[in-house]
Structure 1
Amino acid sequence: MDDQAQLLPLYEQVRRSILAGIEAGQFAEGSFLPAEPELMAFYGVSRITLRRAIGDLCADGRLQRQQGRGTVVMPDKVRQTLVSLSGFSETMDGLGRKAGHRILARDDNPDAPAIRERLRAAALIRFDRLLEDGGRPMTLETLWFDAARFPEIVEPVAAGGSFFTALRDKAGIVPAHAERQIDVGLASAGERGILAVTAAQPVYRIEKIVTDREGRPLALSQLVTPSHLVTYTIKT
């Protein structure tokens, strides 16, 4: 350890050492850290110091404490650009990750007059989907679109396909504009169970509406993503 690192508080030295181990693959994503007594002996620190170091890494989203199981190493954050028009699959493909869409529910005649009006939909349809990163839960999405305008897209989406890919390949349409509204809050009990987060972990709540070149709405998505999984950037 260099002289500059030795000037840092002991918990910060331990935090950096654990983080370096994660980045070097010593502690693999999805694996559990060794038990506290083993880590205390390895780093030569007290339980209080170790727990503060681990607590900071949990707050940063690199670790997650799981009741009765231990502390698991979380995957590195996905970096997304807020002004991008890409869909989830396209974004993940560009990052070299494997995207998945698991259908949780489908409603062919949802009672949602406000959304029906916003989309100008003749036959509104709703899909509740779990968007996955390499099989891991990442985002809960409620997707709405007009099944009368895009009948050829319904079954590809119902089969777990990308809406944006189906829109392009089946209807020959590529979104031209997108508007997003972003809030930060806490997950509901049901959302926590699906996304595997605690009651104290914040989530992004994003509403996204995409439109074509003429400004006609194509789809509306309501997304819930744990904040420790994603970093959003804005390019101007």
Structure 2
Amino acid sequence: MERPTALVTGATSGIGAEFAQQLGRSQHDLILVARDVVRLEAKAVRLRTEYGVNVEVLPADLVTDHGVASVCARLADSAKPVSMLVNNAGFSLVNAFERNTIDEESAHLRILAQTPMELAHAVLPGMLERGTGSIINVASVSAFIPRGTYGAAKSWLVSFSRFANLRYGPKGVRVTAVCPGFVHTEFHERMGANMRGVRPWMWLEAGRVVRDGLAANAAGKAVSIPSRRYATLMALNRLVPDRLAAAAGNRGR
């Protein structure tokens, strides 16, 4: 019996690496997508050795047309079907909107919203034809608060996931937006953020985020907010003025 195949973007570190780890452990063959070929190959060797699964590496810069096209082509290959797409690749900008160049903001919007849309569009026809499939979009609790263009892009991703799960869930394709808060990864270090204002209780582990996200997708849920503490915070967020929500969301800048 053939193993299911999952394609994970941003697979060499953080939440993406954890998705690859947990999916490999559950006997998914894997396609790992990232820019760093050396780290991709090293990750692939570890996963093959540890879990005995097949692992493809697909180096691609998902801010570029060429990089996105190469991943779309793999997702649309009916001879080697992909049963799960994890849209995880992304970055954030540490400066305020008016201090970034428009090229920086355009690349930011591309990888957080346009690229996941294009990859989902590429994989969906095959999933719908087979009557089964999963798409997981890694979003953020920033989607629910006024937090610059990062929050705005993640809000699009959540809205898209809710729509897509309603439309395609009854046809066998489950779509879930995973919305963590602060997670112990390389993400904030790479963006150069000052994290001293973040309280210890606000941090999550990537393993918990991924387990909750996979469980939510298996249950057909459109949105996963890992941990009770963040689920409670987001429920309370609806009751407070935008100014207060924005102040809380601007921690980690």
> Please, what TM-score do these two structures have when normalized by structure 1?
0.23
> Please, what TM-score do these two structures have when normalized by structure 2?
0.22
> Higher strand proportion, which one?
1
Larger Rg: 1
